[in-house]
Chain A
Amino acid sequence: MAIRSAFCWFFAVCWLLTVSAVGAEEATFKLTIRNHRFEPTELMVPAGQKIKLEIDNQDATPEEFESYELNREKVVPAKATVVIFVGPLKPGRYPFFGDFNKGTAKGVLIAK
């Protein structure tokens, strides 16, 4: 009974979120992961507005996009593109990194 109602909740929430996901268009910026590095390593974005990041992982292994400053964390599976929304940001530098390849996968978002 408890488990069944949990599943009902789960699907209801999934459905609601899917329906409400059809939103407005934001300015889109692209990041590519290749050989466990981000390209570009410095990405300029406008401050003061919500922006959409498209992260394209061209490697054969998964990566995790992470930024403490942006309070964001997201797995980017191998050969997949994911979307992540950030902001509106105050002007400044927002470093990010690949949690699965910390040595090489580093970059910074610069909001102006």
Chain B
Amino acid sequence: MKPILIVLYLLLNVSSVADDLCRKWFEASRIPKGPECLNKCAVLSTGMGTFMCPNLCKQLCEDNSLSKKLLEQIAYYPGLNKKERQLISEHPKEAVEVYNQKNKAESESQKTFGRDSSDDESDAFRHFLWAALLTKELGANLAKEFLDAHESEDSSENPSKAMDLANNRAGILAAEKLINSGKFSLDAVKQEALKGIKDGTLIVLKPQGAGK
């Protein structure tokens, strides 16, 4: 019985332990990800515990970071489009923030409207909030890149896309204004979003009823 257990344990654990060791070995080398990565990684010196790591260079050079593992937990991978995937590979650390703020915007929209829907007030509120929170975390330019990438697969004639882009833009502008005046907070952004819905400055294609 005992030998079977040991073999099972080894099967379950050895590969992840080796992966962790090699990731630490690779990170300690500070080789930048890019076209030269594979060659530099392949000739890195190894020790008793890391002699097999050069075999994993391809995987390590692609991306094996903690950010990626985190991202898999907070992002619906098949739902990411080409542009989003490209941006994530260029800005893995920021991508985690992008999807943390997205979750926050969705959750606030649900709390306020009791639903997350399309083309209605909850949609406008969600986009405004996500754009504003991202602007605070990443600055307006990178925030806009991620927000535009999220909409990049839809046809430019799609009215829903036009609505999302307009509400994203309003969120970025509102965040910049609040940041500059030193009044940025989640509550302030939510108030701005609700005000925008009420006075019609945010675009709502199919009004269903205002939130709290």
Q: Does A pair with B? A: no
Which residue numbers of A lie inside 8 Å of B, CB to CB?
none
